[in-house]
Amino acid sequence: MGHLGKPFEKLAILADLSAAYNTPATVDELLYTDLPGAVCVRVRPLLCSAGVGERSEMSDAVKVLNQSKWGVCGFVSILNAMAHNKKLAAFYGVTIDGMQDQLAPELITWLKITNVEKPEMVRDILVFCKEFGRNYNTVDDLVRVIKQEFLAGAARDPQRMTAALDIAMPPHCLVQYLRDVYRVMNVSITHFYHKALSRSELTALKDSIVGVGGSIATKPYDHLLHWVYVDEKGGLWNWGNYDNLASSASDNNALLRHPSLTSITCRIKVL
């Protein structure tokens, strides 16, 4: 990312965040560290999410990242994909089990760096957040909410997460996140303009991050409302659960039953 070189390589490293939990007064020192040209999070450069769910449709239990009540489905969908394809461990030496504590700092890291190097991206995110009723005027407004959730213990206990946090990610911003963090440059975005949401249509979009939405064409990004990951076997990773789309049990998946979600709007795929 510009002068920062490889993703977050100039961040000061902390082995863990125990000090932030034990001494909340020091959280500002941990979460706001001045670096040349940017204000960033001073933690290990990991990606992570909050909460781990398990299903048994595959031979081994599938561990799925779950943002609980946080509106961070774009980040989580990428993380599910990277963890499933073992790229998370290859990049950072961690597995899903080691990610939970670092979600809030990681989100702040990327937002702070991007606000310096690609401010137009952050502006697009803030504008999109308003569509979900979140009136963040600056990146600091958004960071403040993440920090409040972090201090409330949400990182370690997903049950403490509240619906106060939304980071609405437009397709091009999600692709930028994938490129910035994983150095994945060859990515395609396909827009479908209201392809009907169904098991068969989702199954056809294997190994992809899929945007789903509603039917109001006037909304931004073809009424994009939510992101999910569909793996190479047609497994749906969504809201902390794994569902095999080839199974009739997936008829009961919350995604397919959600009244606001009626269409597939776009697909992000690594080529």
Say which amino acid occupies 234: G
What are the structural domain ranges in the chain? 2-270
Residue 193: partners with Cβ closer than 8 Å, 6 or more residues away: 222, 265
d(CA 12, CA 25): 19
Asked if residue 102 has pLDDT above 60, the reply is: yes
Cβ neighbours around 132 below 10 Å, total: 11
pLDDT in tens, 184-220: 888 999 999 778 999 999 999 999 999 999 977 678 9
Residue pair 42/11 in contact (Cβ under 8 Å)? The answer is: yes
Counting every residue written for the chain, the total comes to: 271
pLDDT in tens, 153-193: 666 666 666 667 889 999 999 999 988 887 888 899 999 97
pTM metric for this prediction: 0.78
Average pLDDT over residues 144-151: 82
pLDDT in tens, 221-251: 999 999 999 999 999 998 878 889 988 777 7
What phi, psi does 226 have (nearest 5°)?
Answer: -160, 150
Give the per-residue pLDDT at 153: 67
d(CA 120, CA 116): 10
pLDDT in tens, 19-68: 333 333 333 333 433 333 333 333 333 333 333 333 333 334 667 776 77
Say which amino acid occupies 270: V
What phi, psi does 63 have (nearest 5°)?
Answer: -90, 125
d(CA 196, CA 194): 6
Residue pair 45/32 in contact (Cβ under 8 Å)? The answer is: no
